[in-house]
Amino acid sequence: MQTVSAHGAEIPALGFGVFRMSGEEVERVVPAALEAGFRHFDTAQIYNNEADLGRALEKAGAKRDELFITTKIWVDNYAPARFAVSLEESLDKLRMDYVDLLLLHWPNDKVPFTDQIAGLDAARAAGKTRHIGISNFTIAMMEESIRLAKTPIVTNQIEVHPYLDQRAVAEAAKAAGVAVTAYYGMADGAVPRDPVLQKIGAKHGKTAAQVGLRWLVQQGFIALSKTAKPERAAENIAISDFTLSHEDMAAIAKLGRPNGRLVSPPGLAPAWDA
């Protein structure tokens, strides 16, 4: 599978996310995702399904050295007294000695930023994660995390889909050698229903959802796909056998809109970059 390189990390360009999935759904779909070829799995403490993912991967006989596992520390666990303890809890649930990528899930000004980054650095130094990163950080926050971290920040995981222009963050990340991991790529179901994307897909013999994922990967993003239906896993990963033309990309670019952001929870969301 194609990978994205960032400061020594080789991250599979297409991942499988389990956000808003029940334990039953995770255990049902993960074997199908593995069979389809997925090896990059993304979860988080707040998803409450780390244990389900770990159990599903173990039950399916997945080889740990072939997997790329990401989890995220929740904001309530950023304080030094909780950070390492919560990570150990996550590893126990995942049935793993380490994760491949550990992220701060959202900005949180209630804990000194230096402590948050120190928690990531300590986790890497202890061998609990191979790489560290951030999620939902603005350009200024990303640059500050890079400045403070003793080890490289390899990704900023942010909302990216055709209706939200994230070029400013993407360009800043690229300049710093940081990969962008795109979540919410289906825009909460809008992408598969979009007539422009459906028309482009028909031209390539693909679905609108496949066009949306290809659009992300073709720009150099790491794309997190998701489905609770086992039969859809193979569809989601089948995006390497076609290329979107300049005309296709231009048509998709026109779908952006000023109110395109969908994920901005009060109390968590920062003042987003314009």
List, for residues 54-67, the tens digit of each pLDDT value.
Answer: 999 999 999 999 99
User: 151: which DSSP letter?
Assistant: S
Q: What pLDDT score does 257 carry? A: 95
pTM: 0.97
Q: Which domains are delineated in the chain?
A: 3-188+215-238 (3.20.20.100)
164-181 residues labelled b (16+ CB within 10 A) or e (exposed): bbbeebbebbeebebbbb
Query: Does pLDDT of 1 surpass 80?
Result: no
Is 47 among the catalytic positions?
A: yes
Mean pLDDT of 172-197: 98
The stretch 168-181 carries a mean pLDDT of 98
Taking the C-alpha atoms of residue 247 and residue 106, their distance in angstroms, rounded to an integer, is 36
pLDDT of 191 > 90? The answer is: yes
Query: Is the confidence at residue 167, as pLDDT, over 80?
Result: yes
* From 47, 163, 183, 184, active-site residue: 47
pLDDT (tens digit per residue) in 205-263: 999 999 999 999 999 999 999 999 999 999 999 999 999 999 999 999 999 999 999 99
- % of the chain surpassing 70 pLDDT: 100
For the stretch 23-56, pLDDT in tens is: 999 999 999 999 999 999 999 999 999 999 999 9
Give mean pLDDT, residues 107-119. Answer: 97
